[in-house]
Structure 1
Amino acid sequence: MSSYQTEVQNLNYNAATRCFEALVVFHEGHETRKVPTSAPLPIATDFEAVSTVLVARAKTHRAKGRAKLMSRSPTQKAGRLIHINDMIRQLKDTMGLKDMQTAA
């Protein structure tokens, strides 16, 4: 069974557009997906209402494929993140290129 959590990060009010803006983060099993979103709400709106609207809008954008700036974190394996250096090392080991230097 996979775990699922949602959080609202970097919540700001943009006075020029009269919108709340935030990064909605979906934690789904071993993946983290981040969707930037905004909602035109009055500045006096309480946090619970703002976060509910922002999460709903992010879910809708994501479901319809309109979350153009969505990002995903690397997959998690055995309780740790696989970073690009680990992936390169694994590829080199698989191809027998252990002695080849990494360009960095």
Structure 2
Amino acid sequence: MQARMQAVSTWLTSGARPVAALLAGALGTWIGVRPALTAGTLLLLVPLVVLARSPIRALRQMPDPPAATLPSPPAARTSPPTMPTPALADNARQDRSPGGDAS
């Protein structure tokens, strides 16, 4: 789940870069380079303000997950988990050596 979340985050931030570059160029053309750089610097403070005002600041340890999502301990299971077996076609080739012909 963490890998999926990281992939989505990377995809969103990478995808926003061309749009941000276009907007930054338009803003620099419209109001000038120095004011555009100042505006960009001030926009970097927005996440800092959001985090400073959020309850994350007071968090000292990770909260416990809800009780319904906890998996059962392995000792509570009565039988070992079953592993699915791959299905082989009747005409599946058994010889997988490179360049070998199994005829």
Asked if TM exceeds 0.5, the reply is no
Give the structure with the larger strand fraction.
Answer: 1
Higher normalized contact order (CA 8 Å, seq sep 6+, divided by chain length): 1
Give the structure with the larger helix fraction.
Answer: 2
